[in-house]
Amino acid sequence: MPQPAAAQSVLQPSGPRRRVIFWRHGRTSWNAARRFQGQSDIPLDEVGTAQADRAAALLAGKLAALPVPGALKILSSDLSRAFDTAKALAVLTGEGITVDPRLRETFGGRWEGLSFDEIERTYPAEIKLWQLDEPNVRAGGGETRREVAARMVGAILDGIAAVPEGGTLVVATHGGATRVALAKLLGLPEGLWRTLSGLSNCHWSVVEQSHPSLAGASEWHWRLTEHNVGTLPQPFEAPDDLAEPVED
């Protein structure tokens, strides 16, 4: 018996709650080569551009049910790989992009440009601690996880404060920075930050206000509703020789 078509995946009306969509940029040549990018301004490669276009179309569909004009705001890191990803959504939605350098990836100091294999050979103790999310370890002498989380959350709270009730802030940013920002925004203790996975290229995570507050955005509480989402497999279709015959 034929099954009814699945309902379109959209963000359902949430009353006064605001949402933040963390959206990682598309692939770069350094991603493909497993190089530590940090704040080096590496552009999207051909695959990354295609990823951004496809993900933007999926997100635009999810955002179609937003309640009022102006309920969508797009915020982006100033690094080109994130900004060009954000532009793909801006073209489809007609929204402008606000740029905030606080949304950059972790500054990786002397690690930037090295492959992860090279870092593990040359800085084995430091990279092990950093991968364990030790909050005060500096990536290549650059930033700590704690510092990245603080600046990211500051940018997000400033951005969401300008979003009307029921609206959504899309944040085009970076994988490592997103993970620690999510953890801090959700109130996870630093020892549990590793429980969140990073985002794949052009995947996203969604948080929403759990309790709207008359206080400022810094007093809001958040809950995670989607994490590391990007694509879904195609629905199964029976092969022609097994399908029910059609009499026409």
- Which positions are catalytic? 25, 105
- Computed from CA positions of residues 121, 124, 126, 132, in that sequence, does the dihedral angle turn out positive or negative? positive
The token pair that represents 4 in the structure block: 């009814």
Distance CA 175, CA 27 (A): 11
Distance CA 75, CA 64 (A): 18
Q: Residue holding tokens 């109130």?
A: 187
Q: Quick check: helix, strand or coil at residue 73?
A: strand
According to DSSP H, which parts of 18-144 are helical? Answer: 29-32, 46-62, 80-93, 116-122, 124-131
Distance CA 23, CA 196 (A): 15
